[in-house]
Amino acid sequence: MANMREIRERIDSIKQILKITNAMYLISSSKLKKARKALDSTEPYYYKLQETISSVLEHTPHTRQMYFDRRTDIPPEKRKKGYIVITADKGLCGSYNHNILKFTEQELAKSPDINNCYLFVLGHVGRMYFTSRLKNSSKPFVDGEFLYTTQNPTLYRAMEIARLVLEKFENRELDEVYVIYTDMINSSVQEERMIQLLPFSRKHFGKAPDGTMKKLPKASFLPSPEEVMAHLIPNYTKGIIYGAMVEAFCCEQQSRMTAMDAATTSAKDMIKELSLLYNRARQGAITQEITEVVSGSGALSANV
């Protein structure tokens, strides 16, 4: 009998959780719709920005602009590297957080001195992870005042972040700046990606821009290449950060939706299995009772 009660309690608790996961599924799917819309409307800008900048750079004469300064005088182990890592604010989104954190760890492991790594983490999960990680051993420096949410990315937030890293770069508090985020390839495939923001190098625009613009002579810059670059690069940085935020947010919602969908399905499966067990136990109990009654009455009639 205890068995039956146990099973029933189990089924009840699963039903409760099912309600939660199902609600979360619905919420994330509506959020995903919004995020997708934002992504679709931002993507042309994001790609065009990369494409245009790369073609602009092809026409740019060599400049001594400070954002291009690779600071080769600083040896690799002394270089201060900044990483902007975009994670989620909440858990329960499958392996989304895990993947991006692991990817970041791998990138951090590559750098010669982890004490020279500075992390700017967007999203609560990542921030908690990196602040509490490996207390005893050396760890990267996590900027505690860098408190930005990843929900509903705005251009304004991207601008603030861009301003912050550019300022640190200018003051030589950082020598290299990267963005780590999750890129949405299609609705089922996501990929962690790292982009180098600063120093600005022509090399990382490896993608071939469409051939039409290739054969053109050097473009003129108004008022001067340095002046244009001084405006263009902060703008580009902002655009890239914004694009990465939008992509990452969309990925987060996508993975949460998938995870919650999977949780709901497996909860349903569990309920199905448990109700079978429950029915079997109930049937067993009834059979046992009948046997008892029958044998009891049999014993009585035998006595008479």
Partner 1 sequence: MAKTFHLEIIAANRIFYQGECEHLVITAIDGLLGIMAGHEPLVTVLPTGELKYMVNGQWQYAAISEGFIQVMPESSVILADTCELPEEIDIKRAEEARERAQEQLRQKQSIHEYYQTQAALNRAMNRLKISQKHFK
Tell me the window of 65-73, 112-120, 195-203, 219-227 that interacts with partner 1 (CB under 8 A): 219-227
Given a contact cutoff of 8 angstroms between Cβ atoms, the answer to whether 32 and 151 are in contact is no
61 binds partner 1 (CB under 8 A): no
Build a one-symbol-per-residue string for 19-58: x at contacts with partner 1 by CB under 8 A, - elsewhere: -------------------x--xx-xx--xx--x--xx--
The structure tokens 């810059």 sit at: 221
Nearest distance from C-beta of residue 63 to partner 1, angstroms:
12
182 binds partner 1 (CB under 8 A): no
Nearest distance from C-beta of residue 21 to partner 1, angstroms:
32
Build a one-symbol-per-residue string for 239-278: x at contacts with partner 1 by CB under 8 A, - elsewhere: x--x------------------------------------
* Distance from chain centroid for Cα 224: 39
Nearest distance from C-beta of residue 108 to partner 1, angstroms:
30
**Gap between the Cα atoms of 189 and 95, Å rounded:** 12
* Sequence-distant (≥ 6) Cβ neighbours of residue 69 within 8 angstroms: 199
**Gap between the Cα atoms of 229 and 166, Å rounded:** 13
221 binds partner 1 (CB under 8 A): yes
Three-state DSSP state, 72 = coil
Among 152, 158, 122, residue whose Cα is nearest residue 238: 158
178 binds partner 1 (CB under 8 A): no
Nearest distance from C-beta of residue 252 to partner 1, angstroms:
19
62 binds partner 1 (CB under 8 A): no
Three-state DSSP state, 190 = strand
In this complex, which beta carbon is closest to partner 1, that of residue 176 or of residue 247? Answer: 247
Among 239, 219, 222, 237, residue whose Cα is nearest residue 57: 219
Interface residue with partner 1 among 219, 271, 274, 277 (CB under 8 A) is 219
208 binds partner 1 (CB under 8 A): no
65 binds partner 1 (CB under 8 A): no
**Gap between the Cα atoms of 53 and 47, Å rounded:** 10
CA quadruple 260, 261, 265, 267: dihedral, nearest 10:
10
Within 128-157, which residues bind partner 1 (CB under 8 A)? 155
In this complex, which beta carbon is closest to partner 1, that of residue 5 or of residue 33? Answer: 33
Given a contact cutoff of 8 angstroms between Cβ atoms, the answer to whether 101 and 133 are in contact is no
Cα distances from 225 to residues 67, 162, 177, 205, in angstroms, run 13, 21, 23, 19
Three-state DSSP state, 248 = helix
Given a contact cutoff of 8 angstroms between Cβ atoms, the answer to whether 89 and 150 are in contact is yes
**Total site size for partner 1, rule CB under 8 A:** 32
In this complex, which beta carbon is closest to partner 1, that of residue 136 or of residue 220? Answer: 220
In this complex, which beta carbon is closest to partner 1, that of residue 105 or of residue 143? Answer: 143
Contact residues for partner 1 (CB under 8 A)?
38, 41-42, 44-45, 48-49, 52, 55-56, 59-60, 155, 163, 212-213, 216-223, 227-228, 231-232, 235, 238-239, 242
